[in-house]
Amino acid sequence: MSIFAVIDPATGHTLAEYPGASDAQIEQALAAADSAYRGWARGSTVAERAALAHRAAELMLERKDELAAIITREMGKPPAAAEGEVEFAAAITDAFATHGEEWLADESLAVEDGLRTFFRYQGIGVILGIMPWNFPYYQVARFAAPNLVLGNTIVLKHSEQCPESALALESIFRDAGFPEGAYVNVFASHAQISTIIADDRLQGVSLTGSERAGAIIGEQAGRALKKCVLELGGSDPFIVLDTDDLDHAVQHAVIGRMENSGQACNGSKRIIVLDAYFDAFAEKFAAAIGAQSYDAGDYGPLSSAQATKTLTAQVQGALDQGAELLVGDNAPEGNRYTPSVLTRITPEMDVYSQELFGPVAQLYRVASDDEAIALANSSPYGLGSVIICDDVERAERVGDRLEVGMVFINGAGIEGPDVPFGGVKKSGFGRELGRVGMLEFANKKLFRFAEK
Ligand code: NAD
């Protein structure tokens, strides 16, 4: 059987299979991307490439219904959320098109000797993107758009369960006018990925995925002396310090935990609540999580039978070790997993340091800001965080002490198409989105003019 297949998570039915690439196809992909870099990318302006990216964004919106239906089949995203993802991917692509010239403009440096000195930002060559299934369009947009506008070309290896979204994206970039070789999709095996990374025509690799894959790709990139960006897992804290609007806190904890049926890297996976609010919060939060409706499309099936098996085993392990479910039953029907709240978790339990990739919140009680910070920082991950507090200066002080890449104050889900994204610790390194993301794979070429 092919390793690339569409298996509908709602039914378990295999809907389509796609053959993996031959070694000759991998070679052709690299040759085409390298040639497009040397010809088209080096020979075009940022404005010209931005115009193509702008067109790609338009095409995403024109094809929204078709694109959304693909990911509902591939990974179970409910239709409204799938359409929302397409719109966000288009907005990201358009943000790079709109800001490309400004973000890539020469940057002069104030240097002690006063000589005219500046950075010019240019592409470096072919970049490999390795992408996960959980946001099939959004993840690719935030990698492909900045690199193409910058003047890199890309080889894209999507998740094995996303072959149709992978092909749909490749068509969009081609139909937008990007030439042959600028954006090449490959149905590569993991062994072929390793060959691509070692190839001298490749200049960088960006992986979004699990900690396990990150360690492997990081090692391969290091061995081949290639720059890499790793966007990995997370177990983000959602900290409730002080509020006169507990309903708002509960609403955002639900948004933070339930986004993408609980399968978001920066989902609010650990809800940490100060004593004074804990009992009232726990009651309202458990009720709100319990009220989530599969039929109304609040959440969809987990992405695959394997994902369901993994989550169920993790929760069962926690229950065996003494944790309790406030709501939920850890008894999925197919891949339909009832949203749950897990409490009475202690540091000795395995689940304490694990990422739960599904609609299961861990709920913790703490006695002080210091205790909330210590608990938040005890995770091996460091992606994002949310702090709920009416006193925003106190929230900022707490955020200042968190070992994370992002601090959202008083709201979950406030990402934006031009707002940088990324983490620290085992959540990886590097950033995507915004100017900082666009410069990850740039040659920061220094110009300096001597006095005559
Ligand atoms: P995964 O690591 O299993 O797969 C991600 C990609 O890496 C896939 O294309 C897969 O084929 C590839 N891959 C895996 N092992 C590989 C190997 N040995 N060699 C070459 N390629 C390999 O992750 P997933 O299950 O698809 O995605 C979920 C994970 O992604 C979660 O941990 C989630 O938190 C994380 N994620 C992180 C971010 C972020 O921005 N930090 C965003 C989305 C998802």
Shortest-distance atom of ligand 1 to CA 265: 34
Q: What is the DSSP string of 143-188?
A: HHHHHHHHT-EEEEE--TT-HHHHHHHHHHHHHTT--TTSEEE---
**Cα(221)–Cα(230) distance, rounded to whole angstroms?**
11
Helices within 291-368 (DSSP H only): 305-320
How many Å lie between the centroid of ligand 1 and the Cα of residue 209?
Answer: 2
Query: Which class does domain 236-416 fall in?
Result: alpha beta
Instruction: Indicate which residue's Cα is closest to atom 23 of ligand 1.
Output: 209
pLDDT at 327: 98
Residue range(s) of every CATH 3.40.605.10 domain in the chain: 3-232+428-448
What is the average pLDDT across 379-402?
A: 98
Binding site membership of 404 for ligand 1 (Cβ less than 6 Å): no
Closest by CA to 411, choosing from 254, 290, 287, is 254
Between CA 190 and CA 137, with CA 308 as vertex, the angle to 5 degrees is 55
Instruction: Indicate which residue's Cα is closest to atom 11 of ligand 1.
Output: 159
Q: Tell me the CB-side half-sphere exposure of residue 404, using CA atoms within 13 A.
A: 30
Task: Express each pLDDT in 257-292 by its tens digit.
Answer: 999 999 999 999 999 999 999 999 999 999 999 999
Task: Express each pLDDT in 89-115 by its tens digit.
Answer: 999 999 999 999 999 999 999 999 999
Q: What is the pTM of this model?
A: 0.97
pLDDT at residue 404 tops 60 = yes
What is the average pLDDT across 414-432?
A: 98
Binding site membership of 130 for ligand 1 (Cβ less than 6 Å): yes
The rounded radius of gyration (Å) of the Cα atoms in the chain is 23
What is the average pLDDT across 297-314?
A: 97
Instruction: Indicate which residue's Cα is closest to atom 39 of ligand 1.
Output: 231
Dihedral, CA of residue 350, residue 355, residue 358 and residue 364, to nearest 10:
70
pLDDT at 200: 98
pLDDT at residue 367 tops 70 = yes
First to last CA, the chain: 68
How many Å lie between the centroid of ligand 1 and the Cα of residue 131?
Answer: 6
Instruction: Indicate which residue's Cα is closest to atom 28 of ligand 1.
Output: 209
Q: Are 9 and 335 in contact (CB under 8 A)?
A: yes
Q: Identify the helix (H) or strand (E) that includes residue 219.
A: helix 211-223
Instruction: Check residue 366 and report its DSSP letter.
Output: E
Task: Express each pLDDT in 226-239 by its tens digit.
Answer: 999 999 999 999 99
**Cα(147)–Cα(182) distance, rounded to whole angstroms?**
10
Residue of 134, 186, 383 to test ligand 1 pocket, by largest number of atoms within 8 Å of CB: 134
Other beta carbons within 10 Å of 216: 15
Residue range(s) of every CATH 3.40.309.10 domain in the chain: 236-416
Instruction: Check residue 260 and report its DSSP letter.
Output: G
Task: Express each pLDDT in 309-364 by its tens digit.
Answer: 999 999 999 999 999 999 999 999 999 999 999 999 999 999 999 999 999 999 99
Active site residues: 231, 265
Shortest-distance atom of ligand 1 to CA 211: 32
3-232+428-448 fold = Aldehyde Dehydrogenase; Chain A, domain 1 (3.40.605)
**Cα(289)–Cα(183) distance, rounded to whole angstroms?**
41
Instruction: Check residue 432 and report its DSSP letter.
Output: B
Binding site membership of 193 for ligand 1 (Cβ less than 6 Å): yes
Mean pLDDT of the residues in the chain: 97
pLDDT at 2: 58
Specify burial of residue 20 (Cβ count, 10 A radius: 0-12, 13-18, 19+).
middle
Q: Of all residues in the chain, what percent carry a pLDDT higher than 90?
A: 99
pLDDT band, residue 1 (cuts 50/70/90): very low
Task: Express each pLDDT in 162-216 by its tens digit.
Answer: 999 999 999 999 999 999 999 999 999 999 999 999 999 999 999 999 999 999 9
